[in-house]
Structure 1
Amino acid sequence: MPTPIHDPHDTLGGPLKRLPLRKAAVIFIAAVCLSLCGLLYLQLEQSREHDLSQAQIASVNLTRAMAQQAEDTFVAADLVVTSLADWIQADGFGVALTPRLQRTFARRVQALQQLHGLFLFDRQGQWVVTSFGELPTRQGVADREYFKFHQQNASLQAHIGPAIRSRQNGEWIIPLSRRVNDRNGQFQGVLMAGIRMEYFDRFFTSFSLDDRALMFLALADGTLLSRRPGAELRIGESLAQGEIFRHYLPNAPSGTAMIRSRVDGELRLYGYQQLDAYPLVVASATPEAVVLRGWYANAVQSSVIVALVVLGVSLFGWVFVLQVRNGERIEADLRAAQERPEVIATHDSLTGLANRRLFERALQVEFARGLRQQSPLSLIMLDIDYFKRFNDSYGHVAGDQCLARVAGVVKGCCQRPSDLVVRYGGEEFAVLLPDTDIEGAVAIAERIRHSVRDANILHSGAPSGQLTVSLGCHAFVPKDGDSIEWLIECADAALYQAKNFGRNRTQVASRERRSSDTHSRG
């Protein structure tokens, strides 16, 4: 490549920096692909949040409907029990009143489909009247939870107990009971309405839900009353350690929560609500996979479309980058082809160094810059000692090889891009050093001299037996009236002084102008 000849401090009119089109294309294509993926991610996240929000609304509505149905069921049964308890408490339940009570019980049960039966027990828990007519012959109910509750509590409020099997016919029922007192306020017995478990089972199955969805009715203490899907073995199970009863109900009587089941490990969206009138809790749970089923399908479809678009953009970008790279390669080849004549015209073919033509152009540029900026300019002239004898001893081929090797050594001693090493002619070289004073020039000259000597090039025609060089240095700050020729003359004169003083040395030119020395060089 040719050495650029321009003032590095002069930016006006300098060549524009080439836009890295290939890198810009890669960055643009990557940005487009990342933007598409980012937009897909944002769209899917928004869609997912929307679906979850809609599912939460649906879950709240479902639990509200469940709560309303449960409350209506128990309110109707409670009204029946309350009216009958007031009547019995006022009139008693002697033998004369038993037939009338039985008929009333039967009519009330027929009027409410959720009722399994109505039952009246005395203070010992023995059967007095039932809606079925005939009294069971088996034991009473003194061992039942609801009977013990009323026996031990004076409250006349309705009590809902854990689900039990009716001793009338073995059907699962939820007992709603009230205490019955005599006219003196003493415990007289218990009136109980059995609410069919089947009634809630039918209500739960009336909703179109996924098979993995859950619904349940439980007491406020977590005791399970009814469940969908039905599991008879789980009736009466305690849910008190579940997330809803431990963490959510204490903070809010209703709401939604995403909870992972400890039984099957599935993540479900729960909606829950505690009834206002009774110590009951209803809840429904839908698997997240079911809630987001439509979202998953849309996500797959959208991802496939975006993946195809990204693939298409990437393929187009790959082809475009290949075209750009091929264009750059062709342009580089053309540039190299255009520069090759310039290299031939400005560089020495044997050593690869700049020739005198390039040296003169560079010297003009640096001289003008030194004059403008008042910066020092140095020149080193060097000559191979006894080179004619070297050619005579080893031949011209070896002489050419020697010149190339010395050229490499000299170039290796000049590290700055602005330094210019020149084959001045024959076995003579020049080194142009911008922004360098005489001390710097001498230091570089000595480095060159020692490096050539240390190369250990045999030279039988030299007194030392090794190839050496002589060097002349001159440095000055250009002023008006100075000339390029004077710089060359001074450095050349210093070179002749070095040769006249015994060779293999560096000589600095005197300050006065000198004319060319015509002594022969050998």
Structure 2
Amino acid sequence: MRPGSPSDTPIPWQRYLQALLVFLLASLASLSLLYLHQQQRQAETDQALRQQLRQAVQRFEEEVQQAQSGNAELRRLLARGAEQAELEQLAAQLLTRHPPIVSISTTRKLRVNFIYPLQGNEALLGLDYSVNPEQMSGVERAIAQRDTVLVGPIRLVQSLNLGIVNRTPVFADEGNGELLGLVSIALSLQDTLQRAGLLDLPAGVRLALRGVDGQGEHGQIFHGEASLFRQARLLLNIHLPGGQWQLAADWPQQGLTDSRESRLLLACGQLLALVVALLWFHRRRPRSRTVFSSRPLPLRQLLLGALLLTLLPIIAIGGWLAYEHAQRAAEQISRQLADTISERTQDQLQRFFEAPRSVLALNVEQASVDLLDTQQPDALLQRLLLQLRQHPLLTFVSAGLADGQYYAGSRPPMGPDRGLRMLHARPAEQMQMQIHRVDAANRKGSLVSTGAHFDARQRPWFKAARHNGSMAWYEVYAYAIHDQEQAYATLGIGMSAPLHDSQGRFLGVATADIALPQLSGFLAELSEGTQALVFLLENDDQLLATSSTDALYRRQGEQVERLTSQTSDNPLIRAAGQALRDSGDSEGSLHLQIDGQTYHLDWRPYVLAKGPRLTQVVLLPDSQFASAMQALLHNTLYLGLAVLALGLLIALFVSDWVARPLVALNHWAAQLAAGQWQASPPQRSPVREVSDLARSLDQMARQLQQNTEQLEQRVAQRTAELQQANLQLAELSRTDALTGLGNRRHFDEILADEWARAARSGQLLALLMLDVDHFKLYNDHLGHQAGDQCLKTIASVLQSCARRAGDHVARYGGEEFAVIAADCDLARARQLGETILSVLATLGLPHPHSPLGRVSLSIGVAVRAASNQDSAGELIEQADAALYRAKQNGRNRVEPDA
């Protein structure tokens, strides 16, 4: 073979690069087709799940409505004074027709006097709603609305399982007659959700429900995670008697390799791409065999270099993956621990706050049957002390009599001596507070201190009970014991209720009170050993309790200043409070950076029946998991270094073993080149070792491929998240920021779609153009903030009136609005406009510079049969002309198209 011949010409590196480029392009094409296929499958799955959830919600609403019809039937029977046999007959029929019903009850006034079935529900019979705040809140709503309302989910008295209750008040007449009683039908929440199909969803579908007592999106979450409402694929409103719930659903996005079919398609696509690259390379290769003219390398260096180039990326990627896994694991453990602490705290708080209610309910009922004798103060004090001893969570169990006398059993919330005390202020001591120790038999002991003049009638808890007329929580207040030891120099909160005897005579007020330091100590016990900071906030951001030793208030003489999360001395509380205000959600969780340290923040509402709405906050540092994460990272690093050192030793041994016969072969070849034909050939090369090396390299290649595929999956997932974010941004671009309605762009799109739809179906299309009368005067004299609020109110009115599926409301521009009504004739369109004017007039928004003295609208109505020959712009012109005539004819009117 002559030097310089075509066979000596080396293959240029550009050809290898071109072949690689062909492979990458073919792979990209196959991946694109696979992605489109996966997106189509995902869209079909999304549509099917949305339809399934909507149908399940509809079935749930029907279940509740069917039970509500039973309320109406029982209401009629109760109103005409039906006998118990009739009630039992109808109740039996209702239980047969509606299996989720667990009990049907009626009351005389507020006391349960009928329950069906009786077996298993005996705990309800004789229940007095007036001394059960968790039941009374729903009762008061039903009485106020004079109609059926849905209560719950609540813990059912008979089973303590979650249930929902339809409550219907029954009055002597349909007007303002007196309350005869209530009809209540309780349904099992689990069974109702099961029958509706909301618990039989495909794997991976997650649900969350909120809206306790029908409060919708503003209500408390009672099922699922709060984070679902921020990332839900589907939000649905569940319409219920007297309110609504909100459902959030989410399900995972399918990846390119999640299914067997997708993996098979991916493998076929990559194989096809490889075949295309090989064919391209083969068609462009030189005719003769090629050789490399690069400088040869020693085998030992080649093997060592290859081993380093292979192991170092693997170790680096493995370390990075281990770090990511450890970090995610620490965050997950932190979140789970915070959830556990929050749930345990909420459960224990329920038990804690149940103590005042149970003691108070007992004293109110005993007074009502003349078993609480206020004329025997010694016996009364013995009873109060016994109740306090049985409830170690309470600070005071007391009674203030109608003439101002005060009797109490107390557990000092401050100081080293926490033994029980007996307190009384009565005429015999000129109403001066007397504080005595008591022995184990609750007998009066030595005098501890003498306080100032005390009149129970002037205390906040006494006034609250007189004002509420029933059992309720009163606001945080400062104790007025004024003892010499300052054992009561703090704040407290509790429940109070008026006491009446069997004849209805007012005896006084009973209280059960908890000192804030005692509540804080309770939180400290719950969080002990977890490094978590737990605190409670009232609705106005004031601190109620904290597991730390931080102050809850400041004293300046007789003045007490309550601290908020913003004014707390603890920077963690301040940062957590700021995060809650920034979030704006009533419930949720997030990670928070405070002074360079990461914390997991979890907060959820806690509503006291007949009391304040609290926010329970748990702040947990991730640092307690850092040592375990660092140990995992160190172990990964040490293991990687050990693997690298061992690999280098093996490479030296194997390279020497493989190179020895090759050196001998090279020596033999050199001998042959020198003409020494008698040179003996070297021994055969150990093929098994070479094949083992090939298999090792193959295993390392597969390991690299697995790591690469994992990275590709992460890139695909991130791409899907970015696409979802872009969809959300597109939705925001079509929404008016002030009113939440569709903007002009959205209006144009909807009108074009509805016009095309009406043209296809031959239906009428109505357009209402609305303009706020004298709005410039309104803005000039009341200010732009008032003008913005006015526009928001009008937008709410339009949304409440245009509620059909074919109705669309948009802000057309400035003070102009538009309503598109599909399949709507002129009469119905005018009726819609009149309804809007009527609702707005009912609101009576004041407008000092309007002839009417209130805000009004001028409405132009145009109705047109759509066709492909005409355009929607003509409909807008007709509506604009009608609007102009409405303003010319005096405003505050609906003017149809001429």
Higher relative contact order (CA 8 A, sep 6+): 1
TM-score by length of 1: 0.49
Which structure is larger by alpha-carbon Rg, 1 or 2?
1
TM-score by length of 2: 0.31
